[in-house]
């Protein structure tokens, strides 16, 4: 396992740590990861989440369908 994480994955982890125990919406994720006018694609976000789950554990990040993710680190 390569322990180096891409910048966007690190930024997502920072957001999840900040929001630990809470739900994080897709809008919050986009605001945190992108500059104005940009948006994270669904495919990219799934890859970022998969990488984070490999690091923190699969059970720590739960998908809330069409809303975002529930994070408990």
Entry pTM: 0.88
| pLDDT tens digits, one per residue of 27-56 | 999 999 988 778 889 999 999 999 999 999
| pLDDT tens digits, one per residue of 58-70 | 999 999 999 999 9
Instruction: Round to whole Å and give the CA distance between 38 and 67.
Output: 19
> Which is nearest to 20 in space by CA: 57, 58, 73, 59?
73
């Amino acid at each position: 396992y390569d322990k180096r994480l891409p910048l966007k994955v690190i930024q997502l982890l920072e957001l999840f740590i900040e929001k630990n125990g809470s739900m994080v919406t897709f809008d919050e994720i986009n605001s945190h990861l992108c500059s104005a006018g940009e948006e994270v694609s669904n495919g990219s976000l799934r890859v970022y989440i998969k990488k984070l789950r490999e690091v923190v554990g699969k059970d720590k990040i739960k998908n809330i369908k069409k809303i975002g993710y529930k994070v408990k680190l």
